[in-house]
Amino acid sequence: MSGKKEPHLADGLNTAAVISYLRAHPNLLMEHPDLLSELTIPHATGAAISLVERQVSVLREQVRQHKHQLKELIEIAKENGQLSERLHQMAEKLIQTNDLQTLLKTIKRTLISDFRADKIVLRILAECEESLPELVGEDWPEKGLFEDIFKTRQPVCGRLEEEQHHALFSDELPEYGSSVLVPLFGNNWNGLLAIGSQSPDRYQQDMGTEILSQMADITALALNPYLTR
């Protein structure tokens, strides 16, 4: 007998057991053709790679990429579903508030806890009798820095310009972080909701903005009764 040990596979199997199983089930690969795209079966062509082997290699890589893309789509769909549920919960919290100061605190607290933000900044360009830091008036000096976002009326994601970052987050968040800017439009007033993260990868430019637009609608509707003249 040889002293060479049989290599062991996962779950306590060894090579001899696998070979025995394949011999007992010669049609296994015909019944499960998808396994072929995951197996490496080299051809005896010496140093050269056969055309068939090359084609199988390319196919295997394509299958791997498709699986990865499918996994990403599933994760995105799952996350969107979770975000939709959080928006619903956010709306319920906002309609239960009875004054502007509590409403503003609820918006910030909800976005930080439920949407994994590090910093929330609200700038409301409206004249109001109440004196709150979020109410910057219609002539907010930094308004020009965000002129484009007010024109397009669309949320934007990614890195802010230096002046924009300083106007909203000052030194409370690092400039290398990422942000979401959501324009708000109410009855005779507008505003800006800024969601900031210390991570440069948290909010990317190619992120979908449908959920953010819904968030803007909910926030503006909740603020309207307190700001509309």
CA distance 26 to 194: 62
Amino acid, res. 222: A
The CATH number of domain 98-227, selected from 2.40.50.140, 3.40.50.2000, 3.30.450.40, 3.40.50.720:
3.30.450.40
What's the burial of 116, exposed, middle or buried (CB within 10 Å: 0-12/13-18/19+)? Answer: exposed
pLDDT, averaged in runs of 10, over the chain (229 residues): 49 75 78 66 56 68 67 60 77 88 92 85 87 90 93 90 90 83 92 91 76 88 82
Residues constituting the chain: 229
Ranges of H-type helices in 43-131 = 51-95, 100-114
- The pTM assigned to this predicted structure is 0.63
